[in-house]
Copies of this chain bind each other. A is one copy, B any other.
Amino acid sequence: MQLPTCFLIKGLSEKQLDHYSGISREVQIKKGAWVYQEGDAAEQIFMLREGVVEFMTMVDGNIEIPVNILREPGSCFGTSALISPYLYSISARCVEDSMLLAVNRSKLEVLMQEDSELGYIIMKNLSEHLLEHLKETRKELKLHFKNLLKFMQS
């Protein structure tokens, strides 16, 4: 199976990509359906093949705050499945009929333990991605703080 480009598998060798591909399977999800919800056990990592997926978090249990939207084939999500405590931290829903490539967490863990170079590369890519997200979130928080300051000074 030909894998789309994805940050998580960047830098893997042809052979390692074949192994990753070998544990992937295609999943069809209908427009409007959840891929997963915040707090669900994170058992799968996903790669977008076709379609659009939006991400959101809930405030007070009923107000949805949009977090992100992915349209680019090869976009990767659900990476909480790679990190203890293995719970999705936001919700994902398909905005259009979508085709995803899903990889089972336990299968990928076996692969990473058998080939620790593959594990090292994937975890390095994941760390980069998480730090990027952390920086963006901190930037947003700063913006709120600045607005609060302006408000208090006015």
Contact B120–A112 (Cβ < 8 Å): yes
How extensive is the interface on chain A, given as a class?
35 or more
Q: A126-B127, A137-B134 are in contact. Are A146 and B60 (CB under 8 A)?
A: yes
Q: How far is the CA of A131 from the CA of B126 in the complex (A)?
A: 10
Residues from chain B with Cβ under 8 Å of A117 in the complex: 116, 119-120
Contact B124–A119 (Cβ < 8 Å): yes
Residues from chain B with Cβ under 8 Å of A123 in the complex: 119-120, 123-124, 126-127
User: What would be 5 A-B contacts, judged by CB atoms less than 8 Å apart?
Assistant: A80-B131, A83-B124, A83-B127, A89-B134, A141-B144
Which chain A residues have a beta carbon within 8 Å of chain B's beta carbons?
57, 59-60, 63, 65, 80, 82-84, 89-90, 112, 116-117, 119-120, 123-124, 126-128, 130-131, 133-135, 137-138, 140-142, 144-146, 148-149
